[in-house]
Structure 1
Amino acid sequence: MCTNTKENDMDIYEFYSGRSFDAYRELGAHVKKEVTGKKTVVSGVEFVTYAPNALGVNVIGEFNDWNETVMERCYDGSFFKVFVPEARPGMMYKYKIYHRDGSSMEHCDPYGFGMELRPAFASIIRDMDTYRFHDAKWMKNRSVCQGSPLNIYEVHLGSWRTKPVFDEQGNPLTPEEIAESNRVAESWYTYKEIAPMLAEYVKEQGYNYVEFMPLSEHPSDQSWGYQNTGFFSPTSRYGTADDLKEMIDILHQHNIGTILDFVPVHFALDGYGLARYDGTALYEYPSNDVGYSEWGSMNFIHSKGEVRSFLQSAANYWLSEYHFDGLRMDAISRIIYWMGDESRGVNDRAVDFIRNMNQGLKDRHPSIILCAEDSTDFKGTTKETKYGGLGFDYKWDMGWMNDTLNFFRTLPFVRGEHYHDLTFSMMYNYNERYLLPLSHDEVVHGKATIIQKMAGMYEEKFPQAKALYAYMYAHPGKKLNFMGNEIGQFREWDEKREQDWDLLKYPNHDSFHQYMKALNKIYMKEPALSAWDDDPNGFAWILCGKENDVVYIFQREVNEDKVIVVLNLSGLVYKNYHFNYENGDTMKVLINSDWNKFGGSTKDTEKTIKGVNGDFGFDLPAFSGIYLKPVD
């Protein structure tokens, strides 16, 4: 048995009881340093892994020419540790784990801080203490955005923008040719390269947060990162751990927050990963009935303390080491109910895990944002844990998303029958704190993109999409929009291809893009649109029930600040349409989706409307959204 020093002993009780949030500080590959004269030099690397049922574990890597270095049992005998003086940052390594049945398997390090590019799977030693952040001001002032705007731009880093790829004659390949020739990896920007471009674009377009689809290591591009093998390893597709830190740092210096998709439900079943790590079901359920997920992956067993500690430590790792400002947790319905099926009942152990993890993360990082992607009616998702809730800050409003998109798919002449698809969300709006998502899931797998979902022919889709977003940005709840939606992209998202930025040379797409930019900035500027999202006093219907007209008018407010929202979602133009509003006689037009500059027919110079003793009459273009601000 190896001897342990008090300095680097891990708390075994915390680990086994599922209370650890920093197991990664002991487990994994840790660079050790010593002071020689005036210099601090690397003295070697200490490797530690948890494999309680293994017969033995050896480490192989570049430092020993891939020959086996024996690891000794430590602590209670369930851990294996070795110090290798020849090991250095940047070197690759694996664990060779011997099973009690005589077989063996090479694995990547579950707690490794780096991995090589798929399909290879060696872990890579990373020195996590080399990068110095320059975002102290941002970290001090960030918040969960309750009472303020939260406008999220969702990004898949490998397909937002890409590098050109050339053939042997120096001719640029088309996106289709790149995908067909399996040269996608050549088109990826690194974290460092893409950071300035992303920061500039996001800030210019009026978003204040970026949500990244998973950046932890994963073997299949087609899984988009939702089936992981390296829960502590930034994907090497785009660079190193320090490169990722620099990207987050740059975004913070531009006052842009960052949210990371985190997957606490399941993991990739590749044999070199977590599956049967020590020859037994260590991280997963021992029964295949609940061990396998519908996505062809393995389900975590959340009742085991060491699994809880693993996931909690991973979540804390991304927040602590990389300065992410929040986590969006995927597939929470599979945490709440057995296999995500309400009829099977609540998975009490998993619910207890997510509640404790969220509270522990909030205790350590009070200003982070925790979002739940949850399609269930489970009560208390965004309630504080001390009151029995799950402790999330926001819950994705999947009901709002489905009702809204279904409405806009409907042909205009029958929308009166579906009128209350758009009013129903206010019946439950104050049950939770909601985030309104038009995410990547809505623009793939034959679902059609947002603009393509709109009823009618090509020319009719643009005004309807503009009206949809006018409705979305005025509706209570925080906002999330997936890349490509803002340019009216018709092609479904493909992780192998860059967004179709060349669409912006066409007037309809360019004017739609300009409209989205203007709408984002109004949302960010007008407190009435975000400050009282969770307060019933922040929303009031002015006109609701005009099923035949398919017109909606409502008010958003905070204190004395008010915005009136007028939506005509029919295919008809209404001349001199009237509504009553208090005793005012002038309203400023903040934005009209039908303005000329956005591709519509209303003059951009029409910036005010007049009323008489609170009676306002004005023209309503078909498929339009108008924001008005009372000025007296």
Structure 2
Amino acid sequence: MSKESWQAESAEVEAIVNGRHGDPFAFLGLQQVGEHFVLRAFVPHAEMLTAYTLAGEKLGMLVPRHGAGFFEGKVKISERQPIRYRAKNANGEWDAYDPYTFGPVLGPMDDYYIGEGSHLRLFDRLGGHEMEFDGIHGTHFAVWAPNAQRVSVVGPFNDWDGRRNPMRKRFDTGIWEVFVPVLGTGTIYKFEIVGADGQVLPLKADPFARQSEMRPRTASVVPDPTPFSWTDQKYLDERAQRDWRRTPMSIYEVHLGSWRRRPDGTFMSYDQLAEQLVPYVADMGYTHIELLPITEHPFDPSWGYQPIGLYSPTARHGDPAGFARFVNSAHEAGLGVILDWVPAHFPTDEHGLAHFDGTALYEHSDPRQGFHPDWNTAIYNFGRKEVVSFLVNNALYWLETFHLDGLRVDAVASMLYLDYSRQAGEWVPNKHGGNENIEAVEFLKRVNSEAYRLHPGTFMIAEESTAWPGVSQPVHTGGLGFGFKWNMGFMNDTLKYMSREAVHRRYHHNDMTFAAVYGFSENFVLPLSHDEVVHGKKSLLEKMPGDDWQKFANLRAYYAFMWGFPGKKLLFMGQEFAQREEWSEAKALDWWLLDAGMHEGVRRLITDLNTAYRQMPALHARDCEPEGFEWIIGNDHANSVFAWVRRAPGEDPVVVVANLTPVPRDNYTIPMPKVGKWVERINTDAGWYSGSNSGNQGVVEALAGEGGHWPAHTKLHLPPLSTLFLKFEAD
């Protein structure tokens, strides 16, 4: 039988069957050929195929053109419309909708804003979204792969066969899309990509996947589209009015996988964490929980800092709705939630972003720019607008979709410097010949600006370990636009000092005072983070010198020194009860230690420090401004004694005094900022904290002094290895 004029060329049929057709939407589905409408379908396993309209009108049987399952037939129909097939073989019958009879979901405005790099709702448009389209329930898939010859969505629904659901390419943007009827919540999928060289790449997870399989499986999952019912509006309204620089911020840093475990050693669910972690942190007086990255990651020992699914809460603890319930519970308890966010690098696992469409798409092609020697990871190409959009949208996604209070941006220094961890000849200078990564700087300014503009009351925190100027200054004044910066110098200097035997501390006095020299150049968070209690560094308790009594006394005194010092506070989980062993992501904290009085005493102290910090505005309302701090005694090297005053407008001042030797000092005279009664609000040597219970009987009297800078003075008993908080009490 000779081929009729409406029938497809055999070469095109072969291209479809072999998964090599360049434009399947121009060939499959309902096509007008001359005066006729022709249906073409590729349905493997089918032996007979009958076409129907959605209204049930039978259009006729299609003729098999290829044994692999390609059918074709001329139909009497007046306009393009979705088509349903009834397929049959020797084993049974089934219905199938034709994806190639549905039009595109993305529109010209998407193309415009994506092309411009200004689209701020990409997470609503790209990825897998369950939806109704032309009256049919299904899922729309869209992915950016501009250099691919073909992209198909694959999964169990099509036997992971990339020939069956090739996608439509939007040539202006390089985005591929397809609406696949019937598919919905729980659909497992990946993308099969044929690169520019014609090679089929390893299957790729969806960069915009909002849910992922539990490792070691690596596929993406279509999430439930049902909107979450938030009950935190009152919290959000109050949050939007806060100036966090002048508000208490005491952060409990947590790795969810190792805070606690179930009795069988498995991970706790987001709901269990909401039931146990949230009240624990709230009861201890913290203001925020900071989560090590819960973006999906394949390797547990990476702690989440090697993320693959940047839009997907890890399946280790449940589904996205479970994470939303966790955040909602925190907000109802008055706690903010901060997420560690990792735009500095990404792993090269074959199912991830690396060489996504067969080319260096998300990363630089030059390893001097696109490969990170410290972590053996790829580096984002911040000069590419699509990559910047991917990351900016990701930050906004977490703030919007999960009501997060802030993002702590990991490894900012590695982004700012082109020569970070590189030797001469291993990096590429910028256009001015310098080592500043101009494109990364612009990215950081943009993501910070958009976050603050669109989500009032949220904040961005930089983990930045250098002296880059203006990290926490507004973009319009030339800064990077972060709200806060981790003070790595404070952490390094003070831990180095505290790890020394007390007899040697007099020679390193400036390690404890130096942070005050630059303490208001940025809005600082004082971090005692996870990085300080791993990789042979010991726990904070075991860093302290001396016998067990001295270790605990040192640690208590150090904590109160930090809580009294200007800056927001951050403490990693387990350190609030003096965990003895280094942290390991592979097991839960040693909660049994709380049965011992010394460990419980440290936990009580942290609770009381948080309470004092929140209740006394002098300790928080000018954390980031120099008028809130003044040294009283900053140079008593011989005795290793430090004293300063914290102030806030219209509030009673607080004096902090630290004696960092094991020698008790009686009748130690210090100047005071006011005459009158001063209450001993915190004494880290109190019996309540398992100290030796020496002190000043709860109150001291400051008497008028003559001459000098200070109007009063008092005599204190300074317990050994202790810090005192003295609050002025007006008559």
Q: Is the pair's TM-score, using the shorter chain for normalization, greater than 0.5?
A: yes
Question: Rg bigger for which structure?
Answer: 2
What CA deviation, in whole Å up to 9, does each residue of 1:189-232 have, x standing for no partner? 11112112111101110101000010110010011111111111
Shift in Å, 1:570: 1.4
2:699 is matched with: 608
Q: Evaluate the alpha carbon distance shift between residue 331 and residue 16 of structure 1 in structure 2; reply closer, same or farther with a 3 A threshold.
A: farther
User: Match of 1:320?
Assistant: 400
Within 5 A, what are the aligned runs for 1:46-61? 46-61=140-155
Aligned to 2:559: 469
Contact 2:245 2:523 in 1 (8 A): no
- Pairing partner for 2:258 from 135, 159, 168: 159
1:87 to 183, 193, 202: 183
- Residue 29 of structure 1 contacts residue 48 of structure 1 at CA under 8 Å; is this kept in 2? yes
In 1, are the aligned partners of 2:695 and 2:718 still within 8 Å (CA)? Answer: no
Question: Which string of whole-angstrom CA distances, capped at 9 and with x for unpartnered residues, describes residues 536-561 of structure 1?
Answer: 11111111211101111100011242
**AA matched with 1:188:** F
Structure 1 residue 608 displacement after superposition: 0.8
Select 2:658's aligned residue among 567, 590, 602: 567
1:285–1:291 contact (8 Å) kept in structure 2 = yes
By how many angstroms is 1:289 displaced?
Answer: 2.2
Is 1:73–2:169 an aligned residue pair?
Answer: yes
Paired AA for residue 441 in structure 2: V
Write the letter of the residue equivalent to 1:620: L
The reply to whether residue 277 of structure 1 matches residue 356 of structure 2 is: yes
- Compare relative contact order (CA 8 Å, sep 6+) and give the higher one, 1 or 2: 1
Aligned to 1:303: 383
* Local SS of the residue matching 2:245: coil
SS of the residue 1:187 aligns to: coil
The aligned residue for residue 11 of structure 1 is 110
Contact residue 593 and residue 600 of structure 1 kept, 8 A: yes
Name the SS for the 2:519 alignment partner: helix
1:618 equivalenced with 2:709 (yes/no): no
User: Partner letter of residue 303 of structure 2?
Assistant: W
Cα pair 2:295 2:310 within 8 Å, conserved: yes
Q: CA RMSD in A?
A: 1.8
Paired amino acid for 2:389: S
Structure 1 residue ranges without an equivalent (≥5): 37-41, 166-185
The answer to whether the 8 A contact 2:660-2:721 is kept is yes
| Whole-angstrom CA distance in 1 between matches of 2:293 and 2:500 | 34
Structure 1 residue 13 displacement after superposition: 4.1
- Quote the Cα distance in structure 1 between the aligned partners of 2:147 and 2:217: 26
Give the letter aligned to residue 187 of structure 1: T
> For residues 214 and 108 of structure 2, what CA distance do their matches in structure 1 show?
32
Q: For 1:161 and 1:488, how far apart are their aligned partners in 2?
A: 16
1:482 aligns with 2:572: yes
Partner of residue 596, structure 1: 687
User: Contact between 2:526 and 2:562, CA under 8 Å: does it hold in 1?
Assistant: yes
Other-structure match for 1:180? none
Cα pair distance change 1:361/1:611, threshold 3 Å: closer
Who is 2:464 aligned against? 374
Letter in 1 for 2:188: M
Q: CA deviation at 1:144?
A: 4.8
Distance 2:692 2:214 in 1: 52
Question: Hey, what's the Cα distance between the residues in 2 that align with 1:537 and 1:471?
Answer: 19
Query: 369, 374, 381: which one pairs with 1:290?
Result: 369
SS of equivalent residue, structure 1 residue 515: helix
Match in the other structure for 2:205: 108
Give the one of 607, 610, 616 matched to 1:526: 616
Over residues 141-180 of structure 1, what are the superposed CA-to-partner deviations in whole Å (9 max), with x where a residue is unaligned?
1135221100110000011111011xxxxxxxxxxxxxxx
Q: How much identity, in percent, do the aligned residues show? A: 37
CA shift at 1:291, angstroms?
Answer: 1.7
- Cα deviation, residue 233, structure 1: 1.0
Task: Report the structure, 1 or 2, having the larger helix content.
Answer: 1
Q: Which secondary structure does the structure 2 equivalent of 1:561 belong to?
A: coil
Alignment correspondent of 1:148? 247
The aligned amino acid for 1:472 is M
Residue 222 of structure 2, aligned match among 120, 125, 131: 125
2:551 alignment partner, SS class: helix
Tell me the SS of whatever aligns to 1:139. helix
CA contact (8 A) 2:680 2:696 kept: no
- Does the CA contact (< 8 Å) of 1:155 and 1:482 recur in 2? yes
> Which amino acid in 2 is paired with 1:298?
A
Deviations 1:317-366 (A, max 9, x none): 11111111110000000121114359961101110111111101111112
Secondary structure of 1:306's counterpart equals helix
Paired residues of 2:104 and 2:178 also in contact (CA < 8 A): no
Aligned to 2:45: none
How far apart, CA to CA, are the structure 2 residues paired with 1:10 and 1:454? Answer: 60
Q: Give the superposition deviation at 1:19.
A: 2.6
Assess if the C-alpha contact under 8 Å between 1:114 and 1:126 holds in 2. Answer: yes
SS for the counterpart of 1:244 is: helix
Aligned mate of 2:448, from 358, 361, 364: 358
Which string of whole-angstrom CA distances, capped at 9 and with x for unpartnered residues, describes residues 259-318 of structure 1?
001011111100111000000000001012222211011111100000000001111111
Letter in 2 for 1:114: Q
Change (3 A) 1:495 1:9: farther
CA distance 1:75–1:25, shift in 2 (3 Å): farther
The equivalences for 1:152-551 within 5 A come to 152-165=251-264, 187-293=266-372, 294-340=374-420, 345-551=435-641
SS at match of 1:392: coil
Alpha-carbon distance between aligned partners in 1 of 2:319 and 2:576, rounded to the nearest angstrom: 30
CA distance in 2, matches of 1:10, 1:213: 36
Q: Deviations over 1:547-590 (max 9, x none)?
A: 10111110001124200101001121111111122451421110
With 62-71 and 618-627 compared, the bigger mean Cα shift is at 62-71
Aligned-partner Cα distance in 1 for 2:546–2:692: 19
| Residue pair 1:413, 1:571 contacting (<8 A) in 2 also | no
Per-residue CA distance 1:372-431 (angstroms, 9 max, x = gap): 000010001011001111100000000010001001011111111111111111111111
Corresponding residue pairs, total = 607
Match of residue 41 from structure 2: none
Structure 1 CA distance, aligned partners of 2:105 and 2:592? 60
Distance 2:191 2:289 in 1: 35
The answer for the alignment partner of 2:119 in structure 1 is 20
- Distance in structure 2 (CA, Å) of the matches to 1:427 and 1:77: 51
Paired with 1:8 and 1:594, the residues of 2 have a C-alpha distance of 67
CA contact (8 A) 1:144 1:369 kept: no
Distance 1:248 1:458 in 2: 38
Tell me how far apart the structure 2 counterparts of residues 448 and 373 of structure 1 sit (CA, whole Å).
21
TM-score, reference length from structure 2: 0.81
**The residue matched to 1:578 in structure 2 has which SS?**
strand
Mean CA deviation greater in 196-205 or 275-284: 196-205
The answer on whether the counterparts of 1:384 and 1:390 sit within 8 Å (CA) in structure 2 is: yes
Distance in 2 (CA, whole Å) between partners of 1:511 and 1:446 is 26
Contact 2:106 2:125 in 1 (8 A): no
Aligned counterpart, 1:628:
726
Q: 1:30–1:47: 8 Å Cα contact kept in structure 2?
A: yes
Using the alignment, how far apart are the partners of 1:582 and 1:77 within structure 2? 65
Given that 2:382 and 2:439 are in contact with CA atoms closer than 8 Å, whether structure 1 keeps it comes out as yes
Q: Distance in 2 between matches of 1:234 and 1:6?
A: 26
Task: Identify if the C-alpha distance between structure 1 residues 17 and 353 changes in structure 2 by more than 3 Å, giving closer, same or farther.
Answer: farther
2:185 partner SS: coil
In the alignment, residue 726 of structure 2 is paired with which amino acid? L
Change (3 A) 1:397 1:583: closer
- Cα contact 2:681–2:724 (8 A) shared by 1: yes
